[in-house]
Amino acid sequence: MEYVSVKEAAEQWGLTPRMVAHHCAGGRIAGAQKIAGVWLIPRDAARPEDGRRRNGRKPESADRERDK
């Protein structure tokens, strides 16, 4: 199995290296391993879902401001 670095995965997925490391530490990237303080990510690993997005709608407070 081939592995890529956090930096390479970040460039491939359009994320920051810090966010990729965060996903690795949270167990959101299948097969990621930390060896000697360095995260190794399988080359064919899928980009993790962005848990911040629920249904694509803005918060209700933004809807109320718009409707005024």
Q: Where are the domains of the chain?
A: 1-46
- pLDDT category of residue 41 using cuts at 50, 70 and 90: very high
Residue 10 DSSP one-character state: H
Enumerate the β-bridge partners of residue 57. none
Please determine, for residue 1, whether its predicted confidence score (pLDDT) is greater than 70: yes
Name the one residue in this structure whose structure tokens are 């409707």: 67
Q: What is the pLDDT of residue 51?
A: 75
Mean pLDDT along residues 9-38: 95
Enumerate the β-bridge partners of residue 58. none
Please determine, for residue 11, whether its predicted confidence score (pLDDT) is greater than 70: yes
Please determine, for residue 16, whether its predicted confidence score (pLDDT) is greater than 70: yes
Question: What are the φ and ψ backbone dihedral angles of 24, each rounded to 5 degrees?
Answer: -60, -50
